[in-house]
Each structure stands twice: as C-alpha cells, then as structure tokens.
C-alpha cells in the first residue's frame, strides 16, 4: 500500500469566495495533516463579496494540528489567472516542491501520499514536469500493472497536482515564444492527429492573444511542450472537481463532459512502471473524449472573445443557467 508516513510535503490551497467547496478541500487537507500549509485567497470584487472572501480566509484559522501556516491574502481582486500565477510564484519561491489544490478540487486520502512519493521518486528527473491527481478515464475498479502512466500531451484535468520549482521557473504567462513556434515543422509534427493540432493551435493562439483571458493552465501546457516535459497521470482518479456551477470561472457548466464522479477512495499499492514510456494511445483517446470541440463550443468561445472581460464575468452565470437547462 502507499506509505502512510507523515505528510512533510508542503500543500498550497488557492481560494477565493466559495466557502462550501473550500471547506471540503480544507477538510481533506486537515485529514492529511501536512506539516506546512500555504493558504492563498484572491481579493473581493465588491464590498458585498468581501463578506464571502473573509469567511473563506477564516478557514485557515481552523488548523488544529502541528503545522507551519503561511497566508497570502490579496487586498484587491486579481482574477483567476493573475491570482494563480502570483500564488504559485509565492509558493515555489519558498518551496522546491509541493502539492497544489484549488478551492474546488477535493482529493481522496491516497492523493497526498501518492504525490509525496512521486515528488521524491522523480525529483532529479527533469523530464517529469508535474504529477496530476485526476484521471477522468480511470476504471472504477482498476487492476493496472503500474499505478500511473506517462502523458506527453498533458491530457488529464489539472485538478489537484504536485510539482517542482524547477518546472515552474520555466513558466511564462505571456507565452512570448508562441509566435516563433507556431506553424513550424517541429510543432506540427508533435501532435497525434490533425484535429488535436488544430485544437492546440486554437487554444494557444487564443490564450496568447487574450481571447481566453482567465486561464493560467494552458500556458503551463505550452511551457511543458516546449521543454519536452511529461505528465504523470494516476491509474486511479484521486481528485473530484466539485466546482461545476455558476460560481466557477473555468468550470461553469454542470453539463461539462469532464464532470465525472469516479474518484477512487480506497488504498492501493504504489507500483512504478518499468520504464518511462508515453502512452500515446490514451493521450489520443482522452483528447477525442474530453477535449475535441464541437461547433457549439467553438462558436461560444468566439462570441465570448468579443465581449469585454467584466461584462463576460457579469453575464456568464446567467448564460450558464440557460445552457444547463437546454443541455448544451
């Protein structure tokens, strides 16, 4: 079984205004009892919202185990992208490696020792970029030969992950290298299908030019591809996203294909693969099932890109309710 040794790996919780989901994440961390906890919270957008963010910030005062607690409370609202980048800069400035959770990523108990063991195992292997806790395609009753596999294309939702400073320092939120990389033979030959390349080009172009204004994770995918990094994905889904609602920033729709409930909450034996080999077949399968866009998604993204960010933020919850009612 995965070791039940003390959790000496630092944990970062990224929060904002959702008390109920943040409480569930905090309770999972509380059960794991890390010796170091970093708690970051974005600032309120309005005075009314300050009551919510203050309540969320109060959760850190519930730490009741031996723990070195660090706080980063932003006085003004930065938005998801800027806040996440600032939080991760802060975290990795102080720690060479650690576990990262957001306010809607609820891990099962095995997630923490899984991350701790693999952070140590791959500490000196700079090809391993980060360790994910989620696997949306996981079998509910898996009997794998190894406990995880390697992905070159980064598929798997980054909902609960662990990583190293050595990877984060290569992150560039502005994606300055994108114009010199796109449409080159090396870039085009990287992808597993024409559809995958088309979607990657669309996502990275839209992230680079600001049409996708709230994301921080696509920039990380781009940095990983540039640096030939690999992602570790567990055979067991160890994190459940509990944030598919109007209150989410990038997980607004309750009908999102990624909203699956297959978290594996039983202990399992940690078995390492014999060698580091990318599972390209599963990369492509994940893309086709969860990422490949339909026309409606593309159309919606194009329309949203024409709307000012503040207007988009104001109307999106109402649009989301309508979309859920019609099942889009």
Class of domain 11-326 (CATH, top level): alpha beta
Confidence (pLDDT) at 324? 39
Least confident of 63-67, 107-111, 309-313: 309-313
Instruction: With beta carbons less than 8 A apart as the criterion, state whether 70 and 91 touch.
Output: no
Both tokens assigned to 15:
């929060």
Alpha carbon distance 310, 169 (integer Å): 30
Question: Which one has a higher pLDDT value, 137 or 50?
Answer: 50
Confidence (pLDDT) at 303? 59
- Dihedral over alpha carbons 124, 126, 132, 135 (to 10 degrees): -110
Question: Which one has a higher pLDDT value, 258 or 82?
Answer: 82
- Coil, helix or strand at residue 102: strand
Taking only the tens place, the pLDDT of each residue in 26-57 is 999 999 999 999 999 999 999 999 999 999 99
Q: Are strands 36-41 and 11-15 parallel, antiparallel or unpaired?
A: parallel
CB atoms within 10 A of CB 325: 9
- Coil, helix or strand at residue 200: helix
**Residues in a beta bridge with 237:** 263
Contacts of 16 (CB under 8 A, 6+ apart): 41, 42, 53, 56, 80, 83, 103
Confidence (pLDDT) at 254? 46
Residue with tokens 């008390």: 19
70: enclosing H helix or E strand: strand 68-73
The Cα-based distances of 286 to 47, 154, 196, 226, 297 in angstroms read 42, 10, 11, 21, 17
Alpha carbon distance 42, 75 (integer Å): 8
Residue with tokens 């994940």: 286
Taking only the tens place, the pLDDT of each residue in 195-254 is 999 999 999 999 999 999 999 999 999 999 999 999 999 999 999 999 865 454 444 444
Q: If you average pLDDT over every residue of the chain, what do you get?
A: 87
Phi and psi at residue 156, to the nearest 5°:
125, 130
Domain range list for the chain: 11-326
Both tokens assigned to 295:
């026309």
pTM summary value: 0.86
Both tokens assigned to 130:
């980060």
């Amino acid at each position: 079984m995965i070791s039940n040794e003390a959790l000496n790996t630092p944990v970062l919780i990224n929060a904002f205004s959702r008390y109920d989901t943040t409480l569930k994440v905090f309770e999972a961390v509380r059960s794991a009892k890390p010796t170091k906890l970093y708690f970051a919270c974005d600032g309120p957008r309005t005075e009314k919202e300050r009551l919510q963010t203050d309540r969320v910030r109060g959760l850190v005062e519930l730490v009741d185990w031996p723990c070195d607690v660090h706080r980063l409370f932003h006085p003004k609202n930065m938005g998801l992208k800027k806040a996440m980048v600032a939080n991760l800069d802060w975290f990795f400035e102080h720690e060479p490696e650690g576990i990262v959770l957001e306010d809607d990523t609820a891990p099962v108990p095995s997630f923490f020792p899984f991350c701790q063991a693999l952070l140590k195992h791959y500490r000196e292997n700079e090809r391993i970029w980060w360790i994910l806790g989620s696997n949306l395609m996981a079998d509910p009753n898996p009997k794998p030969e190894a406990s995880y596999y390697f992905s070159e294309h980064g598929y798997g939702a980054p909902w609960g992950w662990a990583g190293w400073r050595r990877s984060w320092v290569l992150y560039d939120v502005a994606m300055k290298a994108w114009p010199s990389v796109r449409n080159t033979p090396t870039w085009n030959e990287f992808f597993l299908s024409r559809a995958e390349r088309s979607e990657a080009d669309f996502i990275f172009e839209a992230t680079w030019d600001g049409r996708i204004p709230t994301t921080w994770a696509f920039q990380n995918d781009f940095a990983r591809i540039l640096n030939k990094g690999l992602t570790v994905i567990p055979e067991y889904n160890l994190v459940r996203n509990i944030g598919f609602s109007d209150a989410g920033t990038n997980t607004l729709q309750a009908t999102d294909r990624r909203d699956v409930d297959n978290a594996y909450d039983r202990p399992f034996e940690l078995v390492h693969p014999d060698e580091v080999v990318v599972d390209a077949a599963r990369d492509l399968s994940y893309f086709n099932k969860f990422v490949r866009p339909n026309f409606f998604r593309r159309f919606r993204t194009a329309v949203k890109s024409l709307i000012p960010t503040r207007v988009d933020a104001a109307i999106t919850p109402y649009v989301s309710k309508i979309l859920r009612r019609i099942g889009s």
